């Protein structure tokens, strides 16, 4: 892993600009990626879509953004993040412009495929930023970059005002323009990463594609991907699902439910930077234990359905009722989002430490699996509602997922400590663990 001379966070340095401009670019990309959370409702009304058609429309960008991550990550390792990130933003901007001129459901879906590329930018940014920082600083750097998830809240806050003033087409055009300007600013203000510059200087060829993919045969990669399926995939799923949940359970109107959903997205994003700092200071493994353990407790609490029961007392029956009130729900959801954000940073600290030469490929796969969680879980939430009739069934599913992750991690760590055969070199262990 190449280490820069200063490897600091100062935006006046090459690595500092790479980090902060990439974070801003990812924020804009994430805002575009979640654009259908707002304009999708208006499109549904105009085109008379069924609930199934609406679900497919909202999920299409999440799906394509997830599937593209592994390929974009590999291309970043080969061609450099500065070029790939810029091209991704420009291509997404074009697709978002075409969305504004779509008139049929098929045309909107086709445009949504292109809009989804914005979600793939995460794998590009992770591979690009990580090359500027040594292992002992990568957790902090990647944690800061991941704060770009707050773009989901930006769309939820800003897009409704543009939509009400000028229509959903204007939202698409404004977001496309912002992304195009961001692409230009990104390319002008950043430099190629040190690894790419060194490769050009020495004339060394890029690694063959099969070699790039070789790390994906490691079971540990898939374990990290499963962690990310929960900490990121469930975050995206809940960001999409919570407004509907709050309306159904607590009777809020759409504006109030949407605002609470946006407020959930903010802490579940910004604390990712803190997770990166913690991963550098106390180790990614410790942060991951706290993330999964606290999330298991929070989802267990949130999964408890309203219950009325009768106890046979000494002097007669005693009736009782249990239900999680709105304030308790908000607190538990905040705790869940907070520890999810820490876990997101810890996962990629592990990746940068264990696979420093394959961050693009490994990060792309892990990001893809996590993104697929954002596509699959809302569908599963709806199906569980139909099957069980319980609104809290979504949290029951999340509890099972995180409990499996926690047990898998603990069993693996204990086996590793006994056998000492599943650890990287000592310097990597110190950085990662």
Q: Give the range among 240-244, 344-348, 406-410 with minimum mean pLDDT.
A: 240-244
Q: Give the range among 100-114, 324-338, 362-376 with minimum mean pLDDT.
A: 362-376
Q: What is the mean pLDDT of residues 350-366?
A: 74
DSSP letter (8 states) at residue 215: G
pLDDT at 430: 39
Report d(CA 88, CA 380) in Å as an integer. Answer: 30
Contact 92, 179 (CB under 8 A): yes
Residue 426 has pLDDT above 60, yes or no: no
Comparing CA positions, the residue from 155, 131, 156, 151 lying closest to residue 141 is 131
pLDDT at 216: 63
Does this model's pTM top 0.85? My answer is no
Q: Give the range among 328-332, 380-384, 424-428 with minimum mean pLDDT.
A: 424-428
Q: Token pair for residue 247?
A: 């309306």
pLDDT band, residue 368 (cuts 50/70/90): confident
pLDDT at 255: 66
Backbone CA torsion sign across 33, 38, 44, 49: positive
pLDDT band, residue 22 (cuts 50/70/90): very high
Kindly state the helix (H) or strand (E) to which residue 251 belongs, with its residue range: none
Residue pLDDT, tens place only, 247-284: 788 888 766 776 777 777 777 777 877 887 888 888 88
Residue 429 has pLDDT above 60, yes or no: no
How distant, in Å, are the alpha carbons of 270, 311, 312, 318 from that of 315?
54, 11, 8, 9
Q: Where are the domains of the chain?
A: 14-432
Report d(CA 174, CA 38) in Å as an integer. Answer: 14
Residue pLDDT, tens place only, 68-110: 887 887 788 788 889 999 999 999 999 999 999 998 999 999 9
First to last CA, the chain: 18
Architecture of domain 14-432: Up-down Bundle (1.20)
**pLDDT over 70, % of the chain:** 87
């Amino acid at each position: 892993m190449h280490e820069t001379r200063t490897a600091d966070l100062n935006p006046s340095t090459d690595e500092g600009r790479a980090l902060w401009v990439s974070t801003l670019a990812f924020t804009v990309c994430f805002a575009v990626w979640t654009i259908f959370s707002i304009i999708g409702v208006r499109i549904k009304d105009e085109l008379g879509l069924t609930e199934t058609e609406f679900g497919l429309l909202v999920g299409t960008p999440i799906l394509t953004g997830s599937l593209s991550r592994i390929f974009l990550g590999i291309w970043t390792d080969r061609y450099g993040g500065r070029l790939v990130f810029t091209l991704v933003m420009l291509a997404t901007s074009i697709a978002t412009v075409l969305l504004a001129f779509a008139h049929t459901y098929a045309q909107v879906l086709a445009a949504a495929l292109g809009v989804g590329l914005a979600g793939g930018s995460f794998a590009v940014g992770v591979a690009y930023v990580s090359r500027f920082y040594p292992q002992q600083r990568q957790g902090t750097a990647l944690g800061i970059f991941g704060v770009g998830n707050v773009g989901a809240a930006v769309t939820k806050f800003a897009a409704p005002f543009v939509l009400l003033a000028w229509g959903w087409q204007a939202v698409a055009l404004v977001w496309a323009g912002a992304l195009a300007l961001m692409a230009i600013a990104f390319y002008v203000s950043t430099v190629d990463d040190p690894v790419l510059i060194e490769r050009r200087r020495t004339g060394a060829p890029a690694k063959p594609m099969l070699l790039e993919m070789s790390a994906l045969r490691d079971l540990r990669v898939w374990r990290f991907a499963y962690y990310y399926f929960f900490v990121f995939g469930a975050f995206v799923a809940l960001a999409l699902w919570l407004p509907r949940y709050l309306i159904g359970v607590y009777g809020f109107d759409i504006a109030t439910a949407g605002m609470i959903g946006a407020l959930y997205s903010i802490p579940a994003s910004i604390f990712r930077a803190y997770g990166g700092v913690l991963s550098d200071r106390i180790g990614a493994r410790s942060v991951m234990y706290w993330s999964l353990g606290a999330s298991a407790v929070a989802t267990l609490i949130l999964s408890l359905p309203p219950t009325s029961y009768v106890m046979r007392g000494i002097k007669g029956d005693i009736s009782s009722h249990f239900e999680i009130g709105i304030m308790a729900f908000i607190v538990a959801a905040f705790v869940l989002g907070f520890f999810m954000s820490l876990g997101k940073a810890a996962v990629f600290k592990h990746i940068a430490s264990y696979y420093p030469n394959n961050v693009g490929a490994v990060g792309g796969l892990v990001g893809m699996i996590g993104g697929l969680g954002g596509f699959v879980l809302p569908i599963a939430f709806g199906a569980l509602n139909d099957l069980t009739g319980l609104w809290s069934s979504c949290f029951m599913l999340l509890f099972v997922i995180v409990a499996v992750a926690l047990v898998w991690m603990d069993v693996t760590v204990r086996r590793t400590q006994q056998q000492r055969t599943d650890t990287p070199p000592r310097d990597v262990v110190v950085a990662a663990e």
